[in-house]
Each structure stands twice: as structure tokens, then as C-alpha cells.
Chains A and B, each alone.
Chain A
Amino acid sequence: EAGVAQSPRYKIIEKRQSVAFWCNPISGHATLYWYQQILGQGPKLLIQFQNNGVVDDSQLPKDRFSAERLKGVDSTLKIQPAKLEDSAVYLCASSHRASYYGYTFGSGTRLTVV
């Protein structure tokens, strides 16, 4: 089966600019996650969707980050405006249900804010 697709792979922006990342989960996976992975650290959950509804966004900096999952398939994560500390790899993952089992990560988008 096809994996979790993410784009773009790399993005360089200036601080205060906006950026958006796209994720296409594995077909049929109802649960979608966005993680932030800062260099030298493990991934940190930003938001979890079940179909097109938000299950957990407690660690999402809502003053600048937003995410949506229209129609319960693709998802977009946006940062507006970006700060230097947002430089990280943004990973999308999906699973068949709200369970760790079958949790598949995409290759991520590496964001550099200068």
C-alpha cells in the first residue's frame, strides 16, 4: 500500500512569513496526526484528527498554528506568522483507528525559518 505522503519535503522561509504543509494519509486511515520534531529531540504531538474532527490539539500553539482535515482525508498544517523556533521537521502520521498499532509516519517536511 502507498505510504503517508507529505509535501513539500523542504521549505525555507523568513520569520513572520506564512507556510503550509500538506499530508495525504494512507487510504482508509481514519486517524491523522501532526508531529513537530526539533533537531535532536523526539517527535512531539501537535494535533490529532479522527476523520475530520479534532481529538487532541492541546499542544498546538493556536496563536500561530492551525490545521484542518476537510472531508476526513487530506490535512493541511499552517503556521502564520512563523518564528525562528518553528524550525523543525513536521511529521504526519496516520492509523486505521485511534491506536498506536499501524501508526505510519510520512517522511516529513523540513522547515527552516531564517
Chain B
Amino acid sequence: GQQLNQSPQSMFIQEGEDVSMNCTSSSIFNTWLWYKQDPGEGPVLLIALYKAGELTSNGRLTAQFGITRKDSFLNISASIPSDVGIYFCAGLYNNNDMRFGAGTRLTVKP
């Protein structure tokens, strides 16, 4: 099946720093999504990318759908303490098949 490799596994940064994380796959996906999960909660959608090469921003978040359709990255600029959480990439193979990466755990030190 389609496997997603997400990196890094964890990050420890200072408040105000920029963050970058990525997701790669050996398979092609039609859509890439980025979610954030806080402790004890379900994932919340941050950004959805619909076509290869697309670059989309949502406030301090920017994500891109790789040209090969096999990868995506998420950048967070000027991190703040509430950015702490686990970030998941997800690839949508078709409308019925969404696969998640293992997540990037972000810690922001004030």
C-alpha cells in the first residue's frame, strides 16, 4: 500500500524560529493534506493541496505539493508556543483512501 515517510520525527525549536517538515512517498497522491493534533484531541486540517506544484498559505503556515506528486512540505514561520503539537501529513489516493504519515512532534521553547 501507499506509505508516507514523514520527517523529522521531532523538533525542538525556540519561539520565533521557522520550522520545516516534509513528507515523501513512493506512490503518487492526488491530494496532500496537513493536519495538527493537540494532546487528547483529533487531528485538525491546516492546509489542503490539490495539484502538483501548488503552494498554499494559511497565516504563518505554507505548504507545497511536490511536482512529482510524491512529496509535500510544510513550513511554519515565526513559531509561537501554541504551535506545539503533532503535525501529520496525509495523502489522498482517491476519495476513499487517505494515508497518514507518522507525524512530526513539535516543541517550542519560549
Contact = CB atoms under 8 A, between A and B. Distances in A.
Nearest to B89: A42
Q: Which of B88, B92, B96 has the most CB of A within 10 A?
A: B96
22 contacts: A4-B42, A41-B102, A41-B103, A42-B4, A42-B90, A42-B101, A42-B103, A43-B43, A44-B100, A45-B98, A48-B96, A91-B42, A93-B42, A100-B90, A100-B98, A103-B45, A104-B42, A105-B41, A105-B42, A106-B42, A108-B40, A108-B42
A98 interface: yes
Residue of B6, B45, B48 with most chain A CB atoms under a 10 A cut-off: B45
Contacts, number: 53
Contacts of B41: 105, 107-108
How large, as a class, is the contact surface on chain B? 20 to 34
Given A105-B42, A107-B40, A107-B42, A40 B97 contact: no
Interface of B: 4, 6, 31, 33, 40-45, 48, 88, 90, 92, 95-103
Contacts of B99: 42
A55 interface: yes
B39 to A, nearest CB: 10
Given A98-B95, A99-B95, A42 B44 contact: no
Contacts of A55: 96
B88 A42 contact: yes
Identify whether the interface residues of A are mostly helix, strand, loop, or mixed.
loop
A106 B95 CA distance: 20
A106 B45 CA distance: 12
A90 B19 CA distance: 29
Contacts of A103: 45
B101 A101 contact: no
A71 B88 CA distance: 32
